[in-house]
């Protein structure tokens, strides 16, 4: 009787590959502005509002059909390619990430999801601290340190955001490597929509890599701390991936839900959000 050839099981490798894609999605649509930013930009003085009220448009107001005429812009020489990538990403967000996020919200109650968010947000302290120093904002770096200590101790490893109840720590502006590059006056370069990763300028792509290098979760996930075992990587990365994908997807849907052109809506939101962050 002939023995069938034995092939090593590829199931762990498949799961590890899927996990890698999910971890990359930590930054899916990472720089889309919040829903509040979009809403606040559409106030009663907008051309669309004027048209609905019957008031004539002034010389300085754009055609209401051009929803993105007055927003900050970015060079987009790769728009045809970017639009193709954006379409593929949209299918992935809709058919893969959306069901996952729906399950995440169903299984975990809001207090648990909030605790998960707080823990990983607290762990991103090195990203904010190092970039505050690189921007020569020593006082803000000190506040970040104090906030981290308070949340890590009184907040039980960051599960509770105790710093939000301390006035001078509650509103410490967040920063990242992308913002540092902007403060250094490095040109943002062209707009690029990366597969799964989402939209970024060329400068912010490099900045994102800097943030990953400074994030302790990345150190653990890639085996720099604790060894690179599949189970360990999943245990560390899965909760952070879930909370990031959930938050980013909610924002993505808010921005694109009523848009005539999703691509332009996301590009506009990206520009607005980066401008808002870099102005802090």
User: pLDDT digits over 70-80, tens only?
Assistant: 455 899 999 99
Q: Is the pTM of this model over 0.75?
A: no
Asked, for residue 5, whether it belongs to a domain, the answer is no
d(CA 87, CA 250): 18
Asked, for residue 6, whether it belongs to a domain, the answer is no
Question: In this predicted structure, what is the pLDDT of residue 222?
Answer: 59
Q: Which domain holds residue 160?
A: 69-278
Distances, alpha carbon 144 to alpha carbons 115, 120, 215, in Å: 19, 15, 15
Asked, for residue 269, whether it belongs to a domain, the answer is yes
Work out the number of other CB atoms within 10 angstroms of the CB of residue 19.
17
Asked, for residue 210, whether it belongs to a domain, the answer is yes
Asked, for residue 39, whether it belongs to a domain, the answer is no
Question: In this predicted structure, what is the pLDDT of residue 246?
Answer: 66
Question: In this predicted structure, what is the pLDDT of residue 241?
Answer: 61
Asked, for residue 148, whether it belongs to a domain, the answer is yes
d(CA 274, CA 19): 28
User: pLDDT digits over 105-157, tens only?
Assistant: 888 888 888 888 899 899 999 999 999 999 999 999 999 999 999 999 999 99
Work out the number of other CB atoms within 10 angstroms of the CB of residue 191.
21
Alpha helices in the chain (DSSP H): 11-24, 35-41, 47-53, 79-92, 98-107, 110-123, 125-134, 138-153, 167-170, 177-183, 202-214, 216-221, 230-256, 262-278
Nearest 5°: the CA angle 204, 191, 207 is 5
Token pair listed for 127: 């990203």
Question: In this predicted structure, what is the pLDDT of residue 96?
Answer: 87
Question: In this predicted structure, what is the pLDDT of residue 141?
Answer: 96
Asked, for residue 256, whether it belongs to a domain, the answer is yes
Listed as ranges, residues in the chain with pLDDT below 70 are 1-72, 221-247, 280
Asked, for residue 60, whether it belongs to a domain, the answer is no
Domains contained in the chain, number: 1
Token pair listed for 20: 């890698």
């Amino acid at each position: 009787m002939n023995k069938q050839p034995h092939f090593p099981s590829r199931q762990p490798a498949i799961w590890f590959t899927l996990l890698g894609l999910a971890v990359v999605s930590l930054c899916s649509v990472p720089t889309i502005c919040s829903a509040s930013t979009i809403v606040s930009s559409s106030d009663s003085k907008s051309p669309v509002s004027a048209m609905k009220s019957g008031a004539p448009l002034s010389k300085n107001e754009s055609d209401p059909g051009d929803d993105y005429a007055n927003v900050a812009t970015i060079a987009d020489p790769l728009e045809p390619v970017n639009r193709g990538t954006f379409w593929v990403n949209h299918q992935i967000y809709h058919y893969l990430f959306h069901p996952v996020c729906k399950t995440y919200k169903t299984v975990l109650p809001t207090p648990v999801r909030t605790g998960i968010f707080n823990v990983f947000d607290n762990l991103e302290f090195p990203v904010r601290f190092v970039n505050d120093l690189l921007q020569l904002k020593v006082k803000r770096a000190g506040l970040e340190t104090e906030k981290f200590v308070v949340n890590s101790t009184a907040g039980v490893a960051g599960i509770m955001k105790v710093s939000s109840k301390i006035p001078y720590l509650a509103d410490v502006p967040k920063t990242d490597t992308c913002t540092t590059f902007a403060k250094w006056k490095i040109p943002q370069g062209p707009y690029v929509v990366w597969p799964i990763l989402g939209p970024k300028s060329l400068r912010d792509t490099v900045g994102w890599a800097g943030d990953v290098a400074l994030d302790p979760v990345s150190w653990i996930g890639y085996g720099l701390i604790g060894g690179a075992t599949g189970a360990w990587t999943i245990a560390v990365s899965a909760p952070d991936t879930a909370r990031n994908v959930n938050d980013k997807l909610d924002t993505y849907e808010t921005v694109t839900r009523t848009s005539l052109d999703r691509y332009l809506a996301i590009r506009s939101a990206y520009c607005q959000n980066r401008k808002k962050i870099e102005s802090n």
